[in-house]
Amino acid sequence: MTPTLLLPDSLSLTPEGSALVAEIEVYLATLPVQARTVAPLICTYGSTVQRWNAGFPLPRLSVLDRLAHRPARPVAVSVADHLRLTSRYLAEFGWVQGQLWDSAGRVCLLGAQAAVLLNGYGTPYTVSRARNQVMEVLHATGRPVASPDAFNDASGTRQADVHHLLDRASARALSLGI
């Protein structure tokens, strides 16, 4: 015999209980638009759908930024975070070889780093240090190329190779505390 759960009368949906529903709706209306965006909770492959910058705050314009008509101050990210964001950006928008970006919105390694920077995460100095970490990993793994872009555009490179490279570079930067 399966047990049945009996709810007290106070939890049933009555005119008094509908006030609670109205209160919840008012609260939900106060949330930022990003929190109210309707999106599928599970993608077709069974994992959670997330934006490339999930877990990082959005750059916010201050009053001075608005008065000076300038972009928001960039969100401070570590070199390791920049490399993770670059990999996530590539995963969301797609990867391309031989060009910075294409008409479909896919980007190369450098294009993804530039997009992360232009979306307000990190500084040009952060990007430079991240590229140095990528070069260190390339040379440490026996791939002496002139730049990360040469590795990106090599005929044998796949998107998974770029993600693996970014993951190793991020782990290296994290171990160095940068």
Q: Give 61-93 pLDDT, tens digit per residue.
A: 889 988 998 888 999 999 999 999 999 999 999
User: Is residue 27 domain-resident?
Assistant: no
Residue 94 domain flag: yes
Per-residue HEC secondary structure of the chain comes to CCCCCCCCHHHCCCHHHHHHHHHHHHHHHHCCHHHHCCCCCECCCCCECCCCCCCCCCCCCCHHHHHHCCCCCCECCCHHHHHHHHHHHHHHHCECCCCCECCCCCECHHHHHHHHHHCCECCHHHHHHHHHHHHHHHHHCCCCCCCHHHHHHCCCCCHHHHHHHHHHHHHHHHHHCC
Report the domain count for the chain: 1
pTM of the model: 0.71
- Which residue range(s) make up the domain with 106? 76-176
Token pair, residue 88, equals: 């996530």
Does a structural domain hold residue 158? yes
Amino acid at 33: V
- How high is the pLDDT of residue 131? 96
Is residue 43 a part of any domain in this protein? Answer: no
Closest CA to 151 of 164, 138, 141, 136: 138
Q: Percentage of the chain with pLDDT > 70?
A: 78
Residues in the chain with pLDDT < 70?
1-18, 31-49
